[in-house]
Structure 1
């Protein structure tokens, strides 16, 4: 895939953003997602070229892939640690599935900086999570997730969701997390339908809901953070 893999974000949470390749999403069951197609069984040389672009300009590095941070090869993980050391990175953001929650301390201890984890929870509505096959039990609450993760990604604009769901998710994320992104669903290869009314709501009204928040990022397009 010919994708942008490196960007510098100069507003909100200033940071360098990388889209690397993992060895493949181990969950791979979310009904709306086809990102898992972006992987490599041996991605180190590919990832090294992207990691070499890191300057440390803001001291914050945010690294994502098509799955979870636990799905990098060892060479890539070791090189990330080397870059963190050489470029004086103070905060490293990583993303992973909730199923890895009990291994976060293991990953955090690998790096010589503060490590913060983000989870693609998509919604705090347990029925919607099950419908989207997120692999997060209906009994799991926002408080449970916040015990492990500093940030979450929210997904908006899919048929079956409501405006109340979106508003509630934003309010919950604002209450419990240091960071959250509000992501408008973009059509892909999966058979998931966009709700055009919700799409207009996200574009026209959600900005007012989060305008005073220092925690939120609204992503209308997949490439709004400069990668993808």
Structure 2
């Protein structure tokens, strides 16, 4: 999927949806304060450990105690700010115009022309764009206010649904489920293993979702259970 140019026709209205500056500042402040607090507590723990000759980790504890008092809270605050930066990097940014919609998350931008998008809706904490053939153009984690997102899409002429119009078509996947295209069961099995594996990458799960979409299968997750439906495949819609 190619990155969009970010350019709109002259005079086109553009709406950008992202977390407010206030919320972003609060996130950074919270992570920074928590990190500083953890650093301070680590210093207290080290002070206590060095008084106990039988306690483990005496060497690291003595090293920590030898550091100037402000070092650990400062280091914790920096670590907290880095985590805040990661959290911001993972937030969804939506750019809407009457001609196209662009979604950016984790440094990846997906762009779709207006006439490729049939319906938009929220599925729990995810924003979903459906194509005219019933397939999902994209499904993205979204912590933006639902009403704000719905209003923006509606104002630009997109069809917004309060629920998935195909929700009654989903069936729970079990190994060897009938009715699936050739190769889909193998992909669903691999995806199920990724969902259940501790420390597995979300990228692997999403990559397998995209592979299933190429076969004409939509998949959604509920508590590590997969539910699927098929759709009529059409040509690629993203630019």
TM-score surpassing 0.5? no
| TM-score normalised by the chain length of structure 1 | 0.27
Structure with greater Cα Rg: 2
More helix by share: 2
| TM-score normalised by the chain length of structure 2 | 0.26
